[in-house]
Structure formats: C-alpha cells, structure tokens
Amino acid sequence: MSYKAEYIWVDGQVPTAKLRSKGKVVPDGEEPPIWGFDGSSTNQAPGENSDCVLKPVFICPDPIRGGNNTLVLCEVLLTDMSPHPTNTRAGCAASAEKYAELDMWFGIEQEYTFFDGLKPLGWPDNGFPAPQGGYYCGVGSDEVFGRPIVEAHLDACLQAGLAIAGINGEVMPGQWEFQIGAIPAPAVADHLWVARWLLYRIGEQFNVSATLDPKPVRGDWNGAGAHTNFSTVQMRGNYDACVAAAEALGTRAELHIANYGDRIEERLTGKHETCSYKEFRYGVSDRGASVRIPWQVARDGKGYVEDRRPNANCDPYTVTRLILDTVCAAATSSMA
Ligand code: ADP
Ligand code: MN
Ligand code: MN
Ligand code: MN
C-alpha cells in the first residue's frame, strides 16, 4: 500500500508570496523524498531552466485526507541544493541557530478575513453592516459569520499536531484570528504556514475564501495584523530584559516596517488600535503602541512583549528572523 503526501511550499509571487501544493503517492514505510516542481509557473525560475527542488522540513498528519496521509511542508532549493533566493526559512533557521542560547519563543496572532465572492462573509449585498463595536469575541448570528469554518480549522490544526493556542472573532465582522505558539523559530513559522494552508483548504469545502489582506475594507474598519509575541530566556525571568527588547526594536524600526508585509502603511495609520508606521512607541497595555508590554508582564516583572506591527500578510520566517537578529544582538552585546 501507499499513502498520500501533500507537498506544500511558499512561492515567489511579489510583493507577497503565496502557498502552493501538490500531491505525491509514497510507498508505505518510506519517508517523503526530496521532490521538485516547475519554478517557471511560480515566479521562481525562468522557463529555460525551470527546475526547483522541494526539500521536506516539517511533516504532520493530514487532517483533510485522514488515515496515514501527511502534509509535507518544504523549503525551496536550487538544483545545487543551496537555498533558493525566495527561501526565507534558511535565514530564519540560521538566526535561530546563532542565538540558540537565548531560547527565543514566538506566539503569532494570525488575523484574517473570510470573503464570500467580492464582499466579506456576512456583509449585505449593498452597503455596510452596523459599525464596529459589538463584533469582537461576539456571539449570535447577527454578529458572527463563519464560525463552522473556524471550528473545522481549529480541529484540523489540532489533528495535524500544530501548536495552535486559540481562536477569536475580530473587531470587523467576518474577520477572525488564530494564534500559533509559543514555540521557537523556525517551527512557529512552519506551523503558521501549514495553518494558513489548512484555512484556505477548508474554505474550499465551504465555498468561502480566506484572505490575509492587511486592509480588506477601506475606511473605518480594522485592518488585519499578525501581532508577534516573543520572549528570550532572559525576558522570561526579568522585566528589564523585556524593556530592553522593546528598546532594541526601536533602533531598527524602519527595517522592520519595510519587511513586515506589503501595504503596511495602509494598516498602520495610527487609528484602529495601531501606531503609525512613521513612529515607534512602546508601552504597558498600550494597543496604540508599536510594541505592547502586557499588564501581567509589568505586574509579574517578567514575561514577553508583543510586536503589534507585522501585517496579516507578513512572511513569519522574515518577521521572526528580524526579531531574533535585532533583539538578540542587543541582548548579547549588553551581556558582554
Ligand atoms: P492578545 O491579548 O494580544 O489578543 P493573544 O492571547 O491573542 O493576545 O495572543 C498571545 C500570544 O502570546 C499567544 O500565542 C501566546 O502563546 C503567546 N505567548 C504567551 N507567553 C509567551 C511568551 N513567554 N513568549 C512568547 N509568546 C508568548
Ligand atoms: Mn489576539
Ligand atoms: Mn487580534
Ligand atoms: Mn495582540
């Protein structure tokens, strides 16, 4: 007998890469092997030299097909087995390795929006729903749109063994969030990419699409982010290390903003629980800051901080690499 392995990878679309997948039948008892694809169809290679390599990096049970079938997240390599230019995982893994001593953990809050054709799920055909205010963590069919899909997605993530931490309805109707972590990089990003794939895949069964668009509706409606919570071993034991991490992020704010997702300036306006992309501020309990120190962390004198800037459409390999580089470089230089 054989089993089905769905190979999943991140493509080369610009400005925002997207997920691709294809299925392979693998003989029972064998690991999913290195495989390949046509890079000229994914913006990863020219037609005359089109072969790209798929190397499995994270394998989990496939909750869609069930049985002993698997999902196989891959990184993309060139045919000489070096990382493809679009492979952001390699740099993330290298930074995590470099700063392994600091044992950084990440918890990423992935916001997203369901669409039914051209409009957010549950929105009227003409005009707008009632203004924001009652929808966040709401209940009832006048406020909540898409819960059966959210529940199916949560079950699927659990069956796949992903480190999913929770779900909630968001401020804009039709918008939702799930959280992955807290676990180290690059695993947190591996799990997040697979959770995104499962969201799209389960959406197929409901005829609903999910989008990571950072500002799906213009005007007085919340955008969608990917708040990235993180801690080092020092931060988990000491409040000054939490403040130092927030300070360190302030020293490289422009670099982070430029790599936190396309169209970030549409979302980080200074309204709708954001700080303007032109500013950098941190504060305790402050949801209008770039970086928030949760109140329990201030009370306990230790814990983690939340980088509120990443867009929903960010690449979590890139976001976690930058946080590792910025925060750990500052932490190790102050130890020296
Ligand atoms: P919010 O109040 O911002 O909506 P959430 O509950 O949605 O917060 O998400 C918080 C995330 O922070 C979770 O994924 C959680 O696992 C993560 N987290 C908790 N403690 C830590 C820690 N010490 N280091 C990193 N992440 C953490
Ligand atoms: Mn949240
Ligand atoms: Mn949220
Ligand atoms: Mn948050």
Q: Is the CB of 231 under 6 A from ligand 1?
A: yes
Pairwise CA distance, residues 192 & 295, whole Å: 26
Domain limits at 278?
101-125+133-335
Q: Which atom of ligand 1 is nearest to the CA of 229?
A: 26
Please tell me the total count of domains within the chain: 2
181 and 51 within one domain = no
Residues 246-268 have a mean pLDDT of: 98
> How far does the centroid of ligand 1 lie from the alpha carbon of residue 232, in Å?
13
Is 168 in contact with 109 (CB distance < 8 Å)?
Answer: no
Cβ neighbours of residue 163 closer than 8 Å, sequence gap 6 or more: 180, 181, 182, 183, 187, 188, 191
Question: What CATH number is given to the structural domain containing 216?
Answer: 3.30.590.10
Pairwise CA distance, residues 256 & 312, whole Å: 14
What are the Cα distances from residue 320, in Å, to 27, 35, 110, 316? 36, 27, 14, 6
Q: Which atom of ligand 1 is nearest to the CA of 303?
A: 23
Give 97-121 pLDDT, tens digit per residue.
999 999 999 999 999 999 999 999 9
Full-prediction pTM beyond 0.85?
A: yes
Give 214-234 pLDDT, tens digit per residue.
999 999 999 999 999 999 999
117 and 81 within one domain = no
> How far does the centroid of ligand 4 lie from the alpha carbon of residue 293, in Å?
11
Q: 222 lies in a domain?
A: yes
311 and 260 within one domain = yes
106 and 81 within one domain = no
Pairwise CA distance, residues 311 & 228, whole Å: 10
pLDDT at 333 over 90: no
Question: What CATH number is given to the structural domain containing 33?
Answer: 3.10.20.70
Q: 92 lies in a domain?
A: no
Cβ neighbours of residue 67 closer than 8 Å, sequence gap 6 or more: 3
Give 156-209 pLDDT, tens digit per residue.
999 999 999 999 999 999 999 999 999 999 999 999 999 999 999 999 999 999
Q: Is the CB of 65 under 6 A from ligand 1?
A: no
Pairwise CA distance, residues 76 & 82, whole Å: 9
Is 180 in contact with 163 (CB distance < 8 Å)?
Answer: yes
Find tokens 């005009």 and name the residue: 127
Report percent pLDDT > 90 for the chain.
Answer: 96
